[in-house]
Amino acid sequence: MPDSNFTWGVGTSAYQIEGARHADGKDPSIWDHFADTGRMPESGDVACNHYHRWREDVALMADMGIDAYRFSIAWTRVVHDGDGTPNTAGLDFYSRLVDALLATGITPWATLYHWDLPLVIQERGGWPERSTVGAFEHYAEVVGRSLGDRVHHWITHNEPWVAAFLGHFTGDFAPGLSDGGTALRAAHHILLSHGRAVDVLRSTSPGCEVGIALDCRPSTPASDDPADVAARHHFDGFRNRWFFDPVFGTGYPDDMVEAHRARGRIPGATGDPIPWDLDGDLHAIAAPIDFLGLNYYTSLVRGAGREESEESGVAPGPDVPEGYTEMGWPITPDAFAEYLVHVHETYRPAAMVITENGASYSDGPDPDGTIDDQRRIAYLDAHVDAVARAAAAGVPMTGYFVWSLLDNLEWTSGYAQRFGLVWVDHATGERIPKASARWYRDRIAAARVSASSRGPG
C-alpha cells in the first residue's frame, strides 16, 4: 500500500458475536425478535459470547498485529427503551473494550448501526417512520458523549441497502417486511439519520473521522443486447446508486425515482418530487464525510428477466476462474479493483476504506488442531492485491478490514457459514487462530516494511 498510514484491521458486529442477550439491562432488538419468532435457524443469544470473552478477543487481535478493530455498538445495550435514558452498565462494556484496545495499540472504529434496531422502536414503526431518525440522533449523542473522547473513527450505518431492502422489501432479514414503498421510506430515513449523526458525532467527538459503510455489488451486462444493458443499469441503480448518489450530494437518481414510481412504490406523477424528502433532507444526507467505507464480497452478471432483488444463484457469466465461496458467491477480485476506480472517479470521496471483505469457508481443525484455510488466504490475498492495484491507479485507499475476526452468526445462514480468521467452537466458545490469521499478520508486517523502506511521501 502506498504509505505507512494505511490502516489494517478486522471487523465484527454486535449481534453476530456478543451473545449475553439479557446482560446488564439489554433490551430486545428486531433480530432477537426475528430469532424468537422462528425466522432464523439459530439465534445470537450466546453467539461467540464476546460480551464475556472480549479480553481474549483483544489478545487475539494483538497477536495479529492489526492497527484497528471495527466493531458495532448495540443500541439496545446503551439506551433504555430505544430513546430513553442512557444505560450506564451497557456503555461501560464498550468503554472497557475501547480502553483495552487503546492500551494494546489498536485503534477502535465503532459502527453505530449494524442492523439491530431496538424492538420498541420497531413497534413504533421502525425505519419507515420519520421519528426513528430522531431516536437515532439521540442514540448517537449518548454514544458520542460516552466514547467520543477515545473513539475517533465512526461509521454511522452498515449497509443501508441490506437494512432497508432485505429488511422491508424481500423480508429475508429483520424486521421481515415485504413492501417496496415501505423499503424506500426506510432507506430514506436511514440515510437521513446517517447525515444527522455525522453532525452529532462531530460535536460530541471532537476531531473525529466519520464515514458510512455502503455495500457494493458491481455488475456487468450479460451481453450487449440493449435489454441486458438496461437491466444491469437498473440493478446498479436499485442496489448501489440509490445510496451512493444522495450520500455524495446528487440526490436520488432520476431514472430510479421513475422506475420505483412505475412499480407503485412512490406516489405521484412522473417528475413529481419524492413525498418523504422534507425539510432539507437531501442536504443533510450529503453531510461531508471523511471516508467512504465499502463492503465488498462479490459481483455479478446481470441480464434481462431477473427480479430486481435477486442475487443468489445468478449465473456469474461464462467463467469464474477463481470459483465460489461457501456462500455461493463468485470470487471476483478484478471486478473489485475496477469498482474502486469507478467509485473514485464518480464520487471523489476524500478517502476510501474497505470496511468489510472476506470469505466463508468451513475448514475446521485438522487432527493436530491446526486449521489450514488456504482458500480463505487465496481469496484475501487476491482482494488485498486488488486494493493495491486501485491505490496504484490513484484511488485514495486508506484502510482494509477483513470480515471477520471470528466465526460468528451469519444472520439467517446461522453458524455454519464461517468467515473468521479465528475458528470458534460454538459449543464451548473456544477460539483457534486459523492459518489465515498468521497469513494476515505476515501480510501486514510485510506491508509495513515495504512502506517504511519507501520513506515519507
The vertex-118 CA angle with 292 and 210, nearest 5°, equals 20
Which stretch, 306-314, 318-326, 371-379, 403-411, contacts ligand FCB (CB under 6 A)? 403-411
308 among known catalytic residues: no
18 among known catalytic residues: no
Residue 413: CB minimum distance to ligand FCB, A? 8
| Under rule CB under 6 A, residue 18 binds ligand FCB | no
Contacts of 45 (CB under 8 A, 6+ apart): 19, 21, 32, 35
Q: Could you tell me the three cell numbers for 411?
A: 444472520
Judged by CB under 6 A, the number of residues near ligand FCB is 12
The vertex-339 CA angle with 261 and 222, nearest 5°, equals 65
> Cis link prior to 404 (omega < 30° from 0)?
yes
Considering only residues 202 through 231, tell me which ones interact with ligand FCB, judged by CB under 6 A: 215
Among the listed residues 209, 308, 311, 356, the single catalytic one is 356
| Under rule CB under 6 A, residue 42 binds ligand FCB | no
| Under rule CB under 6 A, residue 329 binds ligand FCB | no
| Under rule CB under 6 A, residue 403 binds ligand FCB | yes
Q: How far is CA 276 from CA 129, 187, 191, 430, in A?
A: 10, 11, 12, 48
Residue type, 90: G
| Under rule CB under 6 A, residue 295 binds ligand FCB | yes
Given 7, 87, 111, 158, the residue binding ligand FCB (CB under 6 A) = 158
Considering only residues 405 through 424, tell me which ones interact with ligand FCB, judged by CB under 6 A: 410-411, 419
Question: In terms of CB distance, is 403 or 440 closer to ligand FCB?
Answer: 403
| Under rule CB under 6 A, residue 172 binds ligand FCB | no
209's enclosing H/E stretch is strand 209-215
Question: Distance between CA 280 and CA 192 in Å, rounded?
Answer: 10
Question: In terms of CB distance, is 209 or 215 closer to ligand FCB?
Answer: 215
Question: Distance between CA 83 and CA 347 in Å, rounded?
Answer: 34
Question: In terms of CB distance, is 7 or 158 closer to ligand FCB?
Answer: 158
Given 47, 68, 97, 162, the residue binding ligand FCB (CB under 6 A) = 162
Work out whether strand 397-403 and strand 209-215 pair parallel, antiparallel, or are unpaired: unpaired
Among the listed residues 18, 141, 159, 209, the single catalytic one is 159
Q: Could you tell me the three cell numbers for 241?
A: 446508486
Residue 194: CB minimum distance to ligand FCB, A? 15
| Under rule CB under 6 A, residue 13 binds ligand FCB | yes
Question: In terms of CB distance, is 159 or 373 closer to ligand FCB?
Answer: 159
HEC per residue, 247-259: HCCCCCCHHHHHH
Residue 359: CB minimum distance to ligand FCB, A? 9
3-state secondary structure (DSSP) of residue 324: strand
Contacts of 328 (CB under 8 A, 6+ apart): 312, 313
| Under rule CB under 6 A, residue 93 binds ligand FCB | no
- Contacts with ligand FCB by CB under 6 A lie at 13, 16, 158-159, 162, 215, 295, 356, 403, 410-411, 419
Catalytic (active-site) positions: 159, 356
